[in-house]
Amino acid sequence: MGKNMIKTDICVIGGGSAGLSIAAGAVQMGADTVLVEAGKMGGDCLNYGCIPSKALLTAGKVVRTWKKSPEFGVNYGAPEVDFQKVHDHVKDVIADIEPHDSVERFEALGVKVIQASGQFVDSKTLKAGDVTIRARRFVIATGSRAMVPPIEGIESVSFLTNESVFDLTDLPKKIIIVGGGPIGCELGQAFRNLGSEVSIVEMASIMPKDDPDLVSVIRDRLENDGISLLEQTKVLSAEKSSEGVILRVETNGEERDISGTHLLLAAGRIPNLEKLNLEAAGVKVERQGIAVDKGLRTSNRKIYAAGDVTGGYQFTHMAAYDAGIIIRSALFRLPAKVSYNAVPWVTYTDPELAHVGLSETDAKKQGVQHKVLNWSFADNDRARAERRTEGKVKVITSQKGKILGASIVGLQAGELILPWGLALSKGMKIGDMANVIAPYPTLSEVSKRVAGSYYTESLFSDRVKKIVRFLAKFG
């Protein structure tokens, strides 16, 4: 074996959420492991996604607390936003987590970390810098990046993506966000709370993958916050202006210009595949990403793919889930297969919107016979005490009460969705949730109450009343 040749059990390409989970699991289970990463350890989630966005959102929520304080009989002066310090707060949060994802930690675990870009030479060989790697199994986990939409003139203007927006040290005066999905809505609300003028331009409706009934609560909040929502709106062109940028947009056949000091693109993601030379490895790529089977194997049976590169659910928690499937298959030769029937997701606006399983729209499209249960946060005593009564929980069950899905919009919806995910993964019925003893007063009571509503019609029916009256005759 040559000086710059490494032979290993498993080589992971990409040091993001999926890659790090696989590398850490593999090496601790005794596999000789190599990790190849050209950029920052921790990938998109730590450096440009989940972590910095939540840190920025939290800063915005602190400002919003002042706006609501008079409702509680508390009055104090308007906050002054020092955006340089907001920037520093975001970077400090990243820095606090960095050691867990660092080269030093993974090398201490026993992983051989190569900080270079990897390209396949053939079906079982990878070149990374001046090192050649031959592995029994490879895992491609190179993640995704923001898509630059085909807008006329976009190349002539300055724009931000999630990879650059957290480097801002001055608060944008007027920011235009192209894309009304979770990223666009979250960052739009964060910047608005911190004092920016915000416009969100969306070709369809905002948050199109979520239940429209619940999305309407988010829409109302964003508009009440002063955000300009331009839905069903196409961006025709972009050009520089003295202020920053002008977008030409079209809504219902009418064209107009909107101007801003900053432009943020949040209109979708594309997988990071270009540098890998996948053709040499015999790995098939489809429009959305690398093609994989239910065991996350590619067309080359020695190569797996995990996380965003497959074009599936682009969530950090799904990257970790994929990692577990691959470790069972690659290391233990077990017939592990993915199951996506209980995949949760959360949009961290305020209020949050969380979902798992089938939505009402899904059930209708698939022709599934179902029941829809609703319960309002306005009927929850803890929500009343917090003065946060906007929102509701919606649950989809089969006709016989099997839980098929749940969606929650409201305070701490992301925390409240977990038991519904457990219920789905275990095939539980609505009675299981209805019979749980929920502590009082908590927001979690909304789950128990919506479950109990399944029985309302039968429990308080004329038939039950007759039975009660009849039994009462016997003392």
Residue 209 sits in a domain of what CATH number? 3.50.50.60
pLDDT band for 361, please (50, 70, 90 cuts): very high
Question: Is 186 known to sit in a ligand binding site?
Answer: yes
Residue 202 known to bind ligand? yes
Nearest to 124 by CA among 33, 7, 20, 29: 7
Q: Is 401 annotated as a binding residue?
A: no
- Whose CA is closest to 266, among 325, 343, 189? 189
Worst-scoring range by mean pLDDT, 37-51, 89-103, 209-223, 446-460?
446-460
Amino acid (1-letter code) at residue 299: S
Is residue 445 a known part of a binding site?
no
The predicted model gives 391-399 an average pLDDT of 97
Instruction: Give pLDDT tens digits for 366-386.
Output: 999 999 999 999 999 999 999
Q: Are residues 13 and 125 in the same domain?
A: yes
Distances (CA, A) of 374 to 269, 397, 458: 33, 11, 16
Do 138 and 19 reside in the same domain of the chain?
yes
Is residue 92 in a domain? no
Instruction: List, for residues 407-441, the tens digit of each pLDDT value.
Output: 999 999 999 999 999 999 999 999 999 999 999 99
The 10s digit of each residue's pLDDT in 153-189 is 999 999 999 999 999 999 999 999 999 999 999 999 9
Do 37 and 127 lie in one domain? The reply is: yes
pLDDT band at 250 (very low <50, low <70, confident <90, very high): very high
* Residues 309, 282 share a domain: yes
Residues 135 and 116 placed together within one structural domain of the fold: yes
Is 185 known as a binding-site position? yes
Predicted pLDDT of residue 460: 72
Kindly state the average pLDDT of the residues 46-70: 94
Same structural domain for residues 310 and 354? no
- Residue 334: what pLDDT? 84
Report the distance separating Cα 185 and Cα 365, nearest Å: 26
The answer to the question of whether 260 is labelled as a binding residue is no
Region of residue 42 (phi > 0: left; psi between -120 and 50: alpha; otherwise: beta): left
pLDDT value at 351 more than 70: yes
294 is in an annotated binding site: no
Same domain, 383 and 424: yes
Residues 173, 261: contact at Cβ < 8 Å? yes
Do the annotations mark residue 129 as ligand-binding?
no
Q: Which domain holds residue 358?
A: 344-459
Q: Is 179 annotated as a binding residue?
A: yes
94 found inside a domain = no
Q: 25 and 135: one domain?
A: yes
220 is in an annotated binding site: no
Do the domain assignments include residue 205? yes
Q: Is the same domain home to 140 and 277? A: yes
Residue 268's nearest CA partner among 202, 187, 322, 197 is 202
* % residues pLDDT > 90 (the chain): 88
User: Residue 285's CB: how many other CB atoms inside 10 A?
Assistant: 18
Summary mean pLDDT of the chain: 94
Q: Per-residue pLDDT tens for 278-306?
A: 999 999 999 899 999 999 999 999 999 99
The three-state DSSP-derived secondary structure of the chain is CCCCEEEEEEEEECCCHHHHHHHHHHHHCCCCEEEECCCCCCHHHHHHCHHHHHHHHHHHHHHHHHHHHHHHCCCCCCCCCCHHHHHHHHHHHHHHHHHHHCHHHHHHHCCEEECCCEEEEECCEEEECCEEEEEEEEEECCCEEECCCCCECHHHCCCECCCCHHHCCCCCCEEEEECCCHHHHHHHHHHHHHCCEEEEECCCCCCCCCCHHHHHHHHHHHHHCCCEEECCEEEEEEEECCCCEEEEEEECCEEEEEEECEEEECCCEEECCHHHCHHHHCCCEECCEECCCCCCECCCCCEEECHHHHCCCCCHHHHHHHHHHHHHHHHHCCCCCCCCCCCEEEECCCCEEEEEECCHHHHHHCCCCCEEEEEEHHHCHHHHHCCCCCCEEEEEECCCCEEEEEEEEECCHHHHCHHHHHHHHCCCEHHHHHCCCCCCCCCCHHHHHHHHHHHHHHHCCHHHHHHHHHHHCCC
Looking at the structure, do residues 132 and 13 belong to the same domain, yes or no? yes
Question: What are the structure tokens assigned to 341, written together?
Answer: 């029937």
CATH number of the domain enclosing 371: 3.30.390.30
Question: Between the CA atoms of 115, 264, 226 and 383, what dihedral angle is there, to the nearest 10 degrees?
Answer: -30
Instruction: Give the domain-ending residue among 269, 286, 317.
Output: 269
152 is in an annotated binding site: no
**For the chain, how many structural domains are there in total?**
3
pLDDT higher than 60, residue 255: yes
Decide if 50 is inside a domain. no
182 is in an annotated binding site: yes
Is residue 310 included in any domain, yes or no? Answer: yes
Q: Is residue 258 part of a domain?
A: yes
Residue 468 has pLDDT above 90, yes or no: no
- The predicted pLDDT at position 1 comes to 47
Q: In the prediction, which pLDDT does 472 show?
A: 84
Determine the average pLDDT of the residues in 112-139: 96
d(CA 407, CA 417): 8
Position 30 confidence tier, pLDDT thresholds 50, 70, 90: very high
Q: What is the mean pLDDT of residues 63-91?
A: 94
274 in the same domain as 263: no
User: Which of 332, 362, 384 lies at the terminal end of a domain, its last residue?
Assistant: 332
Residue 142 labelled as part of a binding site:
yes
In the predicted model, what is the mean pLDDT of residues 125-140? 96
Instruction: Judge whether 62 lies within some domain.
Output: no
Same-domain status, 274 and 323: yes
Tell me what pLDDT residue 413 has: 98
Please tell me whether 50 is known to bind a ligand.
no
Whether a cis peptide bond, with omega within 30° of 0, leads into 441 is yes
Per residue in 190-242, pLDDT tens? 999 999 999 999 999 999 999 999 999 999 999 999 999 999 999 999 999 99
Query: Which is nearest to 214 in space by CA: 382, 349, 393, 370?
Result: 393
pLDDT band at 3 (very low <50, low <70, confident <90, very high): low
Residue 449 inside a domain? The answer is yes
Q: Is 437 annotated as a binding residue?
A: no
212 marked as binding residue: no
